[in-house]
Amino acid sequence: MDFAELEAVEGLRWPWHSWPPTTPAAASLVVPTSVLCSPLQHPTAPDLLPLLPYAPLRCASPGCGAALNPFSRVHHGSARWSCAFCGAAANPFPRLLAPDALPAELFPTHSSVEYLLPPDPAEPGGPGPPALVFVIDAATAAEELTVLKDEVRRLMQGLPEGIRVALVTFAASVWVHDLGFEGCARVVVLNGERELESDKVGAAELRNPIEVTGGLMVHTESFEYEQFKSCFRHMFRREGTNYLNMNFNATIEIVTSKEVKICGALGPCISLRRKNNSVSDKEIGEVYDKVPTW
């Protein structure tokens, strides 16, 4: 399997072909050793990316947590496996383990797998449905506001069932609308007398939340322009499924051997501030308090 085929299966792009063998060699690199990850990429060869109906089997060694993988050593007699990251050899193997019935994680061709996690006992009903909050400037010109309301109504009619929707409008005051109350229009009005300095509610101030959430900013002179309408509809597309083409509350965790340290992450993510010893002293991008979890 060549690099392009491997990338299509795993959603990973490696801008290097060999690992630096020494610390000086690593320090001399012009471009840091990195991995470009596309976790939502649809694999072109689904049979090479199995979906396993159970939780990953993880190393029980404190501070490790690496999952069973093709580089793990399996001891069939004692039904245990050795972690390729920390070297711990006392990890029990709870499932059937036989040389002719190996789990998919140990196949050499399955360097990447996906897991269909069982329900979390802490959340009997599973994770809650997505929530969308529409925040609208009610001081917008009447004709512009009419176009925007039509687009929002059109969008809400096409949303999958179960999605929670909130509406907040603001002008001289802030109005939080109770959309679930059917008897009459009911809102909570918040005092709008607080003054903000100029240059603090513009596009530049919104850059950080947009970047860390993978959001979008569309610049257009009117809501009537096709540029706004097409982008707005594209964000909430479904493509024949009962789910939006969005993903919520994802967590990315990097597990390394003791010889490898993480400098940081670039992209739409924010640190979860979980401390361990896998972070480099050299920080790049989103690290915050020595945490390789986003």
Fold matches, 50-118 and 131-235:
no
What does the pLDDT average to over 193-205? Answer: 69
DSSP the chain: --HHHHHHHH-EE-S-SS--SSHHHHHT-SS----EE-TTPPPS-GGGS-EESS---B--STT--PBP-TTSEEETTTTEEE-TTT----EE--S---TTS--GGGSTT-SS-EE-PPPPTTSTT-SPPPEEEEEEETTS-HHHHHHHHHHHHHHHHTSPTT-EEEEEEESSSEEEE-TT--SS--EEEE-------TTSSSTTTTHHHHHHHT------S-TTSHHHHHHHHHHT--TTSSS-S---S---B----TT--B--B-SS--------S-B-SS--SB-SSS--B-
As a whole number of angstroms, the distance between CA 254 and CA 267 comes to 15
DSSP 154-209: HHHHTSPTT-EEEEEEESSSEEEE-TT--SS--EEEE-------TTSSSTTTTHHH
Could you tell me the pTM of the whole model?
0.70
> Which CATH architecture group holds 50-118?
Roll (2.30)
pLDDT > 70: percent of the chain? 86
Write down the mean pLDDT value for the chain.
80
What does the pLDDT average to over 150-169? Answer: 88
- Whether 18 shows a pLDDT value over 70: the answer reads yes
Per-domain boundaries in the chain:
1-38, 50-118, 131-235, 251-294
Q: What is 131-235's CATH topology?
A: Rossmann fold (3.40.50)
As a whole number of angstroms, the distance between CA 196 and CA 119 comes to 45
> pLDDT by residue (tens digit) across 114-153?
888 777 666 666 667 788 899 999 988 999 999 999 999 9
Record the tokens describing residue 132, joined without a space: 């969308």
- Whether 72 shows a pLDDT value over 70: the answer reads yes
> pLDDT by residue (tens digit) across 239-288?
777 778 777 777 888 888 887 888 888 888 877 777 677 777 777 766 54
